[in-house]
Amino acid sequence: MESLGVLLLHPLDTYLEQELDRRCRLLRLWDAPLDRRGEFLRAHASSIRAVVTGGGSGGGGDAALIDALPRLEIIACYAVGFDRVDLTRCRERGLRVTNTPGVLTDDVADLAVGLAIAALRRIPHADRYVRAGLWKANNGHYGLTTQFSGKRVGIIGLGRIGLAIAKRVEGFGCPVSYYQRTRQQQAYPNYTYLPTVVQLAADSDVLVVACSLNEQSHGIVSREVIEALGPRGVLVNVGRGAHVDQPELVAALAEGRLGGAGLDVFEAEPDVPEALMALDNVVLAPHMGSGTRETRKAMSDLVLANLEAHALSKPLLTPVV
């Protein structure tokens, strides 16, 4: 794919960038200063046939970008979430879109469980306590937390990631319930379906967001859901910040209406509400769900393989559109 002009929107991964540079005709959007991006795009529009974008704060692929690239054929997302890509516009233009599902499932599920245990057992808080010399200063005292094993886990979205989380928490004796648009009784007889997110929250001790972000799931964790989860409930978000009503979440945590949270994603990354930083009952992570060397290499290879398949007019490996 040497002649494939690829526009990389953000410096996502060194290996990916090196390979794109080696195997394609790579353009880096950030080479142009912010106020000269429009010029940059106009200058190179005729050669850009592919865009590579990330998820979270590295995400892009909106209508404005698409419209600025008349020769664009494919948008390859280095992420499983493609909520920043304007799919409607892509369909209108006949553009292909790919993402990186599967390869990051285990890592995101591991982090979800790790955050749940870290939140319930207060591992980061305890670590801070020891490092600050308080264990010694307080004569060996540390407060009690609450057991993780056996807690009722509610999962919003029983897709690849949701199922991987379910499988893991079953190892801790946690009963699993879930909500999604369609029930899957036969497939998962051990998991209890709840028809609304509020009911799921009411019946759960730990509520995990593991669904994709789209119009219906935007703000799916509302104030009502948060209150149903309650003063002893814990929210774990490894989906997208926009899944949750963030101001409500912050208020509920600060006021004790919600027991705790483990958050890997936020509404406007990398901004994290100041109020959360002061709380001991939350664990904060900088969108690192797929942030392992193993997975990022696999994601890079999947992006490259999709681009290559496209260049060779072969079936895309992981198309969204």
Just list the catalytic residues: 240, 269, 287
Spatial distance between the Cα atoms of 139 and 142, rounded to a whole number of angstroms? 9
Find the part of the chain contacting other proteins (CB under 8 A) among 43-51, 74-82, 120-128, 181-189.
Answer: 120-128
Q: How many residues bind other proteins (CB under 8 A)?
A: 57
CB closer to other proteins out of 288 and 305: 288
User: Per CB under 8 A, does 173 bind other proteins?
Assistant: yes
**One residue of 17, 21, 73, 110 binding other proteins per CB under 8 A:** 110
Q: Which of 101, 107, 111 is nearest to 80 (CA)?
A: 101
Joined tokens for residue 2: 């040497």
Joined tokens for residue 233: 């409930």
User: Per CB under 8 A, does 19 bind other proteins?
Assistant: no
**One residue of 277, 312, 313, 315 binding other proteins per CB under 8 A:** 277
Which residue carries 């698409």 as its tokens? 66
**What is the DSSP secondary-structure string of 156-173?**
E--SHHHHHHHHHHHTTT
Spatial distance between the Cα atoms of 287 and 238, rounded to a whole number of angstroms? 8
Q: Which of 290, 292, 170 is nearest to 238 (CA)?
A: 290
Find the part of the chain contacting other proteins (CB under 8 A) among 89-97, 138-146, 190-198, 247-255.
Answer: 138-146
Spatial distance between the Cα atoms of 84 and 101, rounded to a whole number of angstroms? 16
CB closer to other proteins out of 296 and 310: 296
User: Per CB under 8 A, does 273 bind other proteins?
Assistant: no
Rule CB under 8 A: which residues touch other proteins? 106-107, 109-111, 113-115, 117-118, 121, 123-124, 126-131, 133, 135-136, 139-140, 142-150, 167-173, 269-272, 277, 283-288, 291-296
